[in-house]
């Protein structure tokens, strides 16, 4: 050590010039710096071996081949070859850093805080142990177990081999592998026991656990107390658990559980039980196995019956949020107990408008008696037993009915199929309905006489029907599968279909209404007289035009219609003109109500020729009738489009118009261009109206007309046809 220190001192000073050299045996090696000048003092370093008593072996040290790399560099033995040590430079930590820990006994690898860095008496850690706490009251409060550890805290003890105390105050881990993470005055005293935190908690058996709380005791093997106050599990209650609460106890009961509450107890000393559970409440004592108890209040209550589930001072409520009531289900006697393979019987609530309670009879009934409602108080009905003094006769699977006041019998006409679980009404001869449902009387809410609801499910490709009507067989007369009559309501609907598609003559409809066959409308023949002027708000049948086909019979002259009553979104009707004269449809006339008016193409009058027809469709968005179709007539008209030319460079809207009426209001004759046509064969008429001030001339590469026809004076017109490339002149008219 002295030689190493001298060499270290040598390494960190300025280089010196050796004044002596050679192999010095039994002598001292003196090195000096030679002095700053002749006759001045020389600084020296003395290197000498131990005395002959201490120095028992010859050895050599070989210095590094390079100078010190940095401040704090020290020499360290890199390798040994015989008695020769090879040294290298190593950067040492700062010598100003205090050394907090020390090995208490050399070779024991037991580490503790040095005296300057702790309060209280020093302890002696065990072999390979570590004690990092900063304060203790007694010397025994240390990591005295082999390979034990205390990481922090004060006055903690880890006396068990491989035991551990993370921190806290006055905790004791006294058994092998016992652990305490924190808290105060906690104890783990058996193999692998653990206390996480809390105050005066104890885990005193193998693998026992207390996580937090105070004054809790887990003394059963693999027992656990999660939290709470003064809870206990005794040493004969292995694998039992207390989750929460206070002053709960499990005694001599294996694998039992108390979830919450206070002053609850499972088991009794000397009478072993197992697998019981207390869910909550207070003051409960369970002295039986396989028992489940919940109490809604804290009151003294004891259960001694094994294999029972008990709800004390609380209602048992089965709720649902799936629009399907939950069931209370009972299984048949079974040796396999496989649900739902074994048969069960269930009770469940129907759709209700108020709460209902039933109080069971207070006595045991007699054979043959049936329960009945004896009294009702509010929403609670009290039941008793009723003796039925009636005779019974009938046949299995037939549905019973009262033949008289005291006789119950059955008939083959009404039978229950126990296999298909269907009710069958059958008869061979009768004079009235097989099934008659009749309802009468004043109602104060929505009313339904019969509901057919099929909510069955399947993952196979079966056909599901809500209602199947079949009326077949040889029959002389009219055979009607379904007859519906609705009347008397403010609104009367014979049928409404709110989902799915309707097929007529088609079992697999592809549209909302799929008709495989012909379609006929009932025709209404209007024999009334239309007025000579405008006919406003016309209602042919006096019932908001409910017929889809209206024939207008003989009239004395041409008649004009400005609107129809009865419009609803999507409504369509056809008008046949059999009047002997044209019928004129005048659009957007203020003579009719706004909701009855008619929209025509380009807002022009539409003439329905004699022996022609027109179709009208109502738009709910626009609140107007549209002319949706007309049959061909002897008159062809082109809706006019008016356009004004005010100067040079005008282009006529020939692509979207059939009849262009041009008014040149400028001071000069003007050249005008035409838009390209849309499709070959498209016809457009261009007229320079009679009141136009100046001429217009059709120009452009897409116009091919005679020069004499290209210029239109006031009142003149030309007919053009689009051939796909150019407008070709077809005819011209002088003014």
Name the 3-class secondary structure at 369. Answer: strand
User: CATH number of the domain that 609 lies in?
Assistant: 2.60.120
Tens digits of residue pLDDT in 415-451: 888 887 888 777 777 666 777 778 888 888 888 888 8
Mean pLDDT value of segment 527-556 = 95
pLDDT value at residue 5: 41
At residue 12 the predicted structure's pLDDT band, cuts being 50, 70 and 90, is very low
pLDDT value at residue 420: 79
Out of 596, 630, 664, a domain closes at: 630
pLDDT value at residue 160: 94
Out of 59, 91, 123, a domain closes at: 91
The pTM score is: 0.45
- Which residue range forms the structural domain that includes residue 560? 523-630
Distance of alpha carbon 257 from its chain centroid, rounded? 34
At residue 539 the predicted structure's pLDDT band, cuts being 50, 70 and 90, is very high
**Pick from 264, 267, 289: nearest CA to 276:** 289
Contact yes or no for 188/206 (Cβ under 8 A): no
Express as a percent the part of the chain with pLDDT over 70.
90
Mean pLDDT value of segment 165-191 = 95
The mean pLDDT of the chain is 86
645 and 626 in a single domain? The answer is no
Q: How far is it, in rounded angstroms, from Cα 462 to Cα 459? A: 8
Q: Output the furthest CA–CA distance in the chain (Å, rounded).
A: 159
669 and 601 in a single domain? The answer is no
648 and 622 in a single domain? The answer is no
* Res 735 pLDDT > 60: no
Within a domain: residue 653?
yes
Please provide residue 673's backbone torsions phi and psi, each rounded to the nearest 5 degrees. -105, 165
Within a domain: residue 584?
yes
* Res 57 pLDDT > 90: no
Q: How far is it, in rounded angstroms, from Cα 112 to Cα 89? A: 30
528 and 603 in a single domain? The answer is yes
pLDDT value at residue 666: 94
Contact yes or no for 615/573 (Cβ under 8 A): yes
Mean pLDDT value of segment 343-352 = 87
Contact yes or no for 319/304 (Cβ under 8 A): no
pLDDT value at residue 295: 85
Q: How far is it, in rounded angstroms, from Cα 153 to Cα 168? A: 5
574 and 673 in a single domain? The answer is no
* Res 505 pLDDT > 60: yes
**Pick from 182, 660, 184: nearest CA to 194:** 182
* Res 542 pLDDT > 90: yes
DSSP 590: T
Q: How far is it, in rounded angstroms, from Cα 230 to Cα 423? A: 65
Please provide residue 7's backbone torsions phi and psi, each rounded to the nearest 5 degrees. -65, -40
Q: Regarding beta strands 422-425 and 292-303, do their DSSP bridges make them parallel or antiparallel, or are they unpaired?
A: unpaired
Mean pLDDT value of segment 175-200 = 96
* Res 254 pLDDT > 90: yes
Within a domain: residue 393?
no
Residue scoring higher pLDDT (47 or 698): 698
Within a domain: residue 420?
no
Mean pLDDT value of segment 716-730 = 92
Within a domain: residue 426?
no
Q: How far is it, in rounded angstroms, from Cα 500 to Cα 456? A: 17
Within a domain: residue 566?
yes
Neighbours of 579 (CB within 10 A): 21
Contact yes or no for 722/729 (Cβ under 8 A): no
569 and 644 in a single domain? The answer is no
**Pick from 149, 154, 153: nearest CA to 173:** 149
Within a domain: residue 25?
yes
625 and 668 in a single domain? The answer is no
Within a domain: residue 445?
no
603 and 656 in a single domain? The answer is no
* Res 615 pLDDT > 50: yes
Tens digits of residue pLDDT in 85-114: 888 888 766 555 577 888 878 778 888 888
At residue 65 the predicted structure's pLDDT band, cuts being 50, 70 and 90, is confident
pLDDT value at residue 635: 52
Q: How many domains does the chain have?
A: 3
At residue 166 the predicted structure's pLDDT band, cuts being 50, 70 and 90, is very high
Tens digits of residue pLDDT in 135-159: 999 999 999 999 999 999 999 999 9
Q: Which of 97-106, 219-228, 265-274, 652-661 has the lowest mean pLDDT?
A: 97-106
Q: Which of 521-535, 628-642, 646-660 has the lowest mean pLDDT?
A: 628-642
Mean pLDDT value of segment 627-631 = 84
608 and 662 in a single domain? The answer is no
Mean pLDDT value of segment 584-596 = 95
* Res 37 pLDDT > 90: no
Mean pLDDT value of segment 449-468 = 85
619 and 684 in a single domain? The answer is no
At residue 6 the predicted structure's pLDDT band, cuts being 50, 70 and 90, is very low
589 and 659 in a single domain? The answer is no
Please provide residue 329's backbone torsions phi and psi, each rounded to the nearest 5 degrees. -115, 140
Out of 630, 650, 685, a domain closes at: 630
Distance of alpha carbon 469 from its chain centroid, rounded? 41
pLDDT value at residue 7: 43
pLDDT value at residue 10: 43
535 and 594 in a single domain? The answer is yes
């Amino acid at each position: 050590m002295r030689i190493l220190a001298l060499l270290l001192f040598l390494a960190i000073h300025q280089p010196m010039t050796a004044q002596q050299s050679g192999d010095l045996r039994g002598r001292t090696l003196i090195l000096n710096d030679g002095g700053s000048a002749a006759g001045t003092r020389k600084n020296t370093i003395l290197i000498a071996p131990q005395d002959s008593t201490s120095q028992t072996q010859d050895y050599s040290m070989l210095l590094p081949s390079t100078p010190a790399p940095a401040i704090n560099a020290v020499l360290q033995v890199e390798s040994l070859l015989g008695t020769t040590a090879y040294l290298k430079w190593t950067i040492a930590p700062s010598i100003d850093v205090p050394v907090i820990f020390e090995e208490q006994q050399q070779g024991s690898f037991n580490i503790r805080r040095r005296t300057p860095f702790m309060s209280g008496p020093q302890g002696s850690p065990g072999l390979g142990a570590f004690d990092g706490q900063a304060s203790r009251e007694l010397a025994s409060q240390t990591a005295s177990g082999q390979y034990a550890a205390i990481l922090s805290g004060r006055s903690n003890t880890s006396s068990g081999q491989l035991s551990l105390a993370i921190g806290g105050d006055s905790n004791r881990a006294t058994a092998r592998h016992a652990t305490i993470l924190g808290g105060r005055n906690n104890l783990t005293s058996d193999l692998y026991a653990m206390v996480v935190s809390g105050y005066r908690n104890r885990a005193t058996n193998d693998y026992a656990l207390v996580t937090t709380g105070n004054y809790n005791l887990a003394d059963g093997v693999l027992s656990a107390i999660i939290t709470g106050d003064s809870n206990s599990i005794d040493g004969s209650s292995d694998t039992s658990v207390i989750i929460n609460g206070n002053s709960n106890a499990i005694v001599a009961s294996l694998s039992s559980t108390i979830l919450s509450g206070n002053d609850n107890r499972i088991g009794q000393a000397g009478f072993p039980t197992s697998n019981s559970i207390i869910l909550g409440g207070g003051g409960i004592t369970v002295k039986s196995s396989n028992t489940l108890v919940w109490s809604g209040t804290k009151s003294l209550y004891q259960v001694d019956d094994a294999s029972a589930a008990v709800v004390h001072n609380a209602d048992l409520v089965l709720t649902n949020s799936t629009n399907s009531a939950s069931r209370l289900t009972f299984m048949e006697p079974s040796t396999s107990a496989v649900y739902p393979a074994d048969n069960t019987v269930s009770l469940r609530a129907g759709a209700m408008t108020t709460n209902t309670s039933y109080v069971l009879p207070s006595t045991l009934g007699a054979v043959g008696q049936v329960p009945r409602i004896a009294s009702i108080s509010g929403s609670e009905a009290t039941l008793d037993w009723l003796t039925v003094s009636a005779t019974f006769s009938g046949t299995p699977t037939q549905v019973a009915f009262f033949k008289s006041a005291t006789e119950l019998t059955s008939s083959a006409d009404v039978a229950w199929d126990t296999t298909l679980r269907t009710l069958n009404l059958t008869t061979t001869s009768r004079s009235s309905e097989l099934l008659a449902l009749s309802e009468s009387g004043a109602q104060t809410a929505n009313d339904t006489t019969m509901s057919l609801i099929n909510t069955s499910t399947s993952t196979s490709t079966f056909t599901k029907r809500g209602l199947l009507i079949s009326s077949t067989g040889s029959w002389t007369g009219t055979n009607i599968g379904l007859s519906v009559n609705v009347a008397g309501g403010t609104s009367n609907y014979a049928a409404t279909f709110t989902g799915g598609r309707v097929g007529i003559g088609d079992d697999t409809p592809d549209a909302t209404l799929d008709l495989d066959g012909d379609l006929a409308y009932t025709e209404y023949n209007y024999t009334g007289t239309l007025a000579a002027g405008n006919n406003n708000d016309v209602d042919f049948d006096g019932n908001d035009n409910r017929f889809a086909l209206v024939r207008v019979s003989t009239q004395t002259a041409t008649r004009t219609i400005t609107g129809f009553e009865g419009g609803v979104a999507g409504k369509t009707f056809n008008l046949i003109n059999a009047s002997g004269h044209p019928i004129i449809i005048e659009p957007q006339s203020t003579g009719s109500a706004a909701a009855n008016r008619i929209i025509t193409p380009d807002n022009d009058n539409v003439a329905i020729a004699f022996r022609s027809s027109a179709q009208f469709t109502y738009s709910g968005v626009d609140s107007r009738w549209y002319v949706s179709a007309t049959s061909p007539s002897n008159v062809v008209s082109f809706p006019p489009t008016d356009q004004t030319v005010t100067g040079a460079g005008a282009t006529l809207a020939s692509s979207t118009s059939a009849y262009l009426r041009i008014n040149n209001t400028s001071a000069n004759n003007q050249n005008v261009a035409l838009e390209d046509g849309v499709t070959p064969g498209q016809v457009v008429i261009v007229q320079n109206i009679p009141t136009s001030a100046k001429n217009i001339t059709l120009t452009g590469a897409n116009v091919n007309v005679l020069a004499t026809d290209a210029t239109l004076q006031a009142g003149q017109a030309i007919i053009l046809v689009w051939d796909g490339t150019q407008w070709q002149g077809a005819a011209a008219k002088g003014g």
